[in-house]
Chains A and B, each alone.
Chain A
Amino acid sequence: MEAILAVTSKLAAPFDLMSMLAEVVSAAKQVLQADRGSVWLYDAEADELVLEIATGIAPVRVSAKAGLAGACASTRRIINVPDCYADDRFNPEVDRRSSYRTRCMLTLPLVDHKQVLVGVMQVLNKADGVFDESDEVLATALAAQCAVALQRVRMTEAVIEGEKMRQELEMARVVQMSTLPATMPVLPGYDLFGVSRPASLTGGDTFDLSVIDQGLLAVLGDATGHGIAPALSVTQMHAMLRMAFRLGADLETAFMQVNNQLADTLADDRFITAFIGLLDVATHRMRFHSGGQAPILHFQAATGNCARHGPTSFPLAAMPLLSLRPAVNLDLLPGDILVLLSDGIYEYQNDRGEQFGEMRVEEILRENHGKPAAELSVSLLDAVHTFARGAVQEDDITIVLVKREAQVATHGMFQRSFDSLEPIFAMTRGFCTRYGVDPGILLTVDFTVEELFTNMVKYNRESGARVRLDIATIDGGVEVALTDYDVEPFDVTQAPDVDTTLPIERRRPGGLGLHLIRRLVDSMDYRYEEASRQSRITFRKTLTGPASADTIDANARKTED
């Protein structure tokens, strides 16, 4: 009894498993006067016994049903075998491998105070004969102490290991999230928004929205796997893409080279689904490649429908790319939205095991597409939250929205005076800047507005009515209207042309303005309303309109003929 008490105090000390096992074996040998001892730990998940330590013998795993140890584990009863070679449950293989001869053996279950099987302890070859009944009693008392001590150490180690992993994961997640854009880029004519909500444990989402030399870069990436690896993979991809584009790569080169580098670097079972797109701001065309990232939704404001696009390639890092299918082009019209969502949204499961799915996403887009992108994103997240009904978020959720501003219009009322030109030009400039109208057409717009406005001032000086100026975006440019009130009709579109080839003595400034603007704009329309005595002149100007230098030169030649 004293021996056991001495052992018990010793067992209180160690905190790591190996020291504890050594302590237990040494205690057993001492108390039972045995030559050797070993402890098999029970691995409940594998239903195996694991020999973590035995003097001079390498660690072994055996089925928790095999041999004397297995018999003891299943019955949880002490087994006393005085002559091992006479017992067919004994496996002489261990002896053979360690050049040792086992005579007698006491096998006892290690069961903690919650009746959990911790393992099996075996002591071999009692110094002066075989193990007797009093040894069995002593061993049972010792086994109980050892089981509790071992279980304590195992649990402590699991907690420490878990905490270590949690800290590492947290660190990786911090790095992962820190690479995401902190503020959204400002792009005239567009409304951009991206957000990523990490899940508590696993997930490897990333996104990028950034104005670079090649246009607007839009990226959504989602790395597979659990734990720390996906967070590190996507962080790597994010940085590689930025670097590739910074070095001047085009879409194809960046996609292929980053894929091939990741295929080289990442572990064989890792891959990243990713959308990588470049928006040409002048043409509103998004060219993209998608490695396994789908669906790519293109909400079309004109119809209220969503066009879906699939991937152009397999996920990044899956294998090296030797060639690439052509990129997909997607033309964003006013009000259209490119919607990139990670599968953390589509596959979010509620408490009934249903997934959020694509149909719900499309419904939300139809109902909320008029909202600013940031608010649309909130609507999506709210809908997912409501749908989940308390079910936890299992995967990262990422939303990237590239919204082209819907057709926008503004108007102003201006005093009938040349002094109004300054505020008029401030309005046209402000509008074009705000809504991404190509600055190349601004001077023509100003020129045309000035000619029309000053005509209104000159030919209707008596009127006190102010002139109304309307500007609206159209595809590739603007539509501008000037409305004059309380006037006689005068159709500017019918004013005679000026002969621009006359010698200087015969040239007069009059009429030149109207002559020019009819050639500078894409179209011009005049309406007169008898009832309200109201003149309205509407013109359109786009970057790609028909009024090019060629047509003007042709007109000039025609005049010469």
Chain B
Amino acid sequence: MLAIEFGPEGRGVVVVAGRLDAAQAAAAQAFLDPLQGTVTLDCSGLEYISSAGLGVLLKTQKRLLAAAGKLRLTGANRHIQDIFRYSGFDQIFEIEPAR
């Protein structure tokens, strides 16, 4: 299951937790679509991401970059970092690893 919501800081931080898989991709996309500017995605509770999840993030990143914003990731676990690296997405997203 996936939980996605704004952090206590406001609309600039999105806290995502659980599993971002093909079954959850549409819900995540719908949440991210209205956002503007620079958005930090707090992944410290994100356990798993599939290529469907990568697709959601890629689409969002393209849209934000076109409007001088961006999506940055924090707190990504080992699995998620690996997936980003193996797919070359580490060159597209600014990733601040888990502390």
Contacts and interface: CB of A to CB of B under 8 A. Distances in A.
Interface of A: 418-419, 421-422, 425, 443-444, 446-447, 450-451, 454, 498, 500-502, 504-505, 507, 509, 512-513, 515-516, 519-520, 549, 552, 556
Interface of B: 1, 19, 21-23, 47-48, 50-52, 54-55, 58-59, 61-62, 65, 79, 82-83, 85-88, 91-92
A450 B50 contact: yes
Given A512-B51, A516-B51, A516-B87, A504 B21 contact: no
Residue from A450, A501, A520 with most neighbouring chain B CB atoms (10 Å): A450
A520 B51 CA distance: 13
B39 to A, nearest CB: 16
B51 A556 contact: no
A444 B10 CA distance: 33
A504 B54 CA distance: 13
B54 A509 contact: yes
A498 B58 CA distance: 15
Contacts of A443: 47-48, 79
- Chain A CB count within 10 A is highest, among B54, B58, B79, B87, for B87
A515 B62 CA distance: 21
6 contacts: A418-B22, A454-B50, A454-B52, A500-B88, A507-B88, A552-B85
B83 A516 contact: yes
A419 B23 contact: yes
A421 B21 contact: yes
Given A501-B88, A501-B91, A447 B48 contact: yes
A278 B69 CA distance: 56
Say what secondary structure dominates the interface of chain A.
helix
A444 B50 CA distance: 10
B76 to A, nearest CB: 13
B79 to A, nearest CB: 4
Among A498, A507, A549: residue with most chain B CB under 10 A: A507
A450 B21 contact: yes
A389 to B, nearest CB: 61
Given A447-B50, A447-B83, A504 B19 contact: no
A546 to B, nearest CB: 14
Nearest to A547: B86
A111 B59 CA distance: 112
B46 to A, nearest CB: 11
B1 A516 contact: no
Q: Which 4 A-B pairs have the closest CB atoms?
A: A500-B88, A509-B55, A513-B51, A418-B23
Contacts of A556: 86, 88
Contact of B22 (A444, A454, A500): A454
Nearest to A559: B88
Given A418-B22, A443-B79, A515-B87, A507 B51 contact: no
B92 A421 contact: no
Given A419-B23, A421-B23, A450-B50, A512 B61 contact: no
B51 to A, nearest CB: 3
Contacts of B48: 443, 446-447
Contact of B52 (A425, A450, A500, A501): A450
Contacts of A502: 88
A536 to B, nearest CB: 21
Nearest to B88: A500
Contacts of B51: 447, 450-451, 509, 512-513, 516
A122 B79 CA distance: 97
Nearest to A556: B88
Contacts of B62: 504-505
B50 A451 contact: yes
Contact of B87 (A418, A421, A512): A512
Contacts of A507: 58, 88, 92
Residue of A425, A454, A549 with most chain B CB atoms under a 10 A cut-off: A454
Nearest to B62: A504
A289 B88 CA distance: 49
A515 B89 CA distance: 13
Given A502-B88, A504-B65, 19 more contacts: A421-B21, A425-B21, A446-B21, A450-B22, A450-B51, A451-B50, A454-B50, A454-B52, A498-B87, A500-B87, A501-B91, A504-B61, A505-B62, A507-B58, A507-B92, A509-B58, A513-B50, A516-B51, A549-B82
